[in-house]
């Protein structure tokens, strides 16, 4: 396959080596317009907006990933494989499973458990453990400390189901120490492993699975500035 790809219309060189990927394409637009200078839109296919600009003199791109592992699986693979992107940092939202992790807290996914069948394509004789790139993870923790922002680092769950018919599933993952649940990181980590690239997932808690805490859709789209500023400074 050559570029443009079926899902990204950018020419080679129009996408930076470092890409930040929120799930929501409108959040990508908001971040680019708020934080980047000299922005250029490189993709509008399926309204999955992508932008390249500069932040503190560094070239950086921001692009939506859509919802779920099939969607981020497509976009991250094409970015890594055909546009020679080195690092993708997912900046998303998640539901907290832990009693001491609340709305607006920042979680960094060291590992990403999953109930997805995404890994089956690799035909591995066992269970693969999708993990973050340590260099990016370590930098994220250091940057957060310098910015005076608290982060929680540990295991997250990438789920294929938002509305699950299994009402006991969250209890089981919580018992295993999983911090929060989202829907994309495991596929991103697997693509990075396959293609020898770097990946990190940073999440802002948008709701709590067990407590009455949640953000509105607008707050999720326009908020999360603490997480975004950490990701930009990595």
Binding residues for a purine D-ribonucleoside: 7, 182-184, 206-207
Using the CB atoms, write b or e for 99-116: b if 16+ within 10 Å: eebebebbbbbbbbbbeb
Residue found under tokens 């509105």 = 216
Q: Measure the CA–CA gap between 194 and 122, rounded to whole angstroms.
A: 9
Asked if residue 184 lies in contact with residue 88, where contact means CB atoms within 8 angstroms, the answer is: no
Q: Measure the CA–CA gap between 43 and 196, rounded to whole angstroms.
A: 25
Q: Which ranges of the chain would DSSP assign to H, the alpha helix?
A: 25-35, 69-82, 134-146, 169-175, 185-195, 217-222, 225-233
SS3 state of residue 180: strand
Annotated binding site for phosphate: 23, 27, 46, 90-93
* Residues with catalytic function: 207
């Amino acid at each position: 396959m050559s570029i443009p790809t079926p899902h990204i219309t950018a020419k080679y060189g129009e996408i930076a080596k470092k890409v930040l990927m929120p799930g929501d394409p409108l959040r990508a637009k908001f971040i680019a317009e708020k934080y980047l200078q000299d922005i250029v839109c490189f993709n509008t296919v399926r309204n999955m907006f992508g932008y390249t600009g500069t932040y503190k003199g560094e070239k950086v791109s921001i692009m939506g990933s859509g919802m779920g592992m099939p969607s981020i699986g497509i976009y991250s693979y094409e970015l890594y494989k055909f546009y020679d992107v080195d690092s993708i940092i997912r900046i998303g939202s998640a539901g907290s499973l832990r009693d001491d992790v609340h709305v607006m807290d920042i979680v960094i996914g060291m590992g990403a458990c999953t109930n997805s069948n995404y890994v089956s394509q690799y035909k591995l004789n066992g269970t693969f453990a999708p993990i973050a790139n340590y260099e990016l993870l370590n930098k994220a923790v250091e940057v957060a400390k310098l910015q005076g922002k608290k982060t929680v680092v540990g295991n997250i769950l990438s789920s294929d189901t938002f509305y699950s018919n299994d009402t006991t599933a969250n209890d089981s993952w919580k018992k295993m120490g999983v911090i929060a649940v989202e829907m994309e990181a495991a596929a991103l980590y697997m693509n990075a492993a396959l293609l020898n690239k770097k990946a990190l997932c940073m999440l802002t808690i948008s709701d709590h699975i067990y407590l009455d805490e949640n953000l509105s859709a607008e707050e999720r789209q326009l908020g999360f500035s603490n997480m975004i500023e950490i990701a930009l400074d990595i």
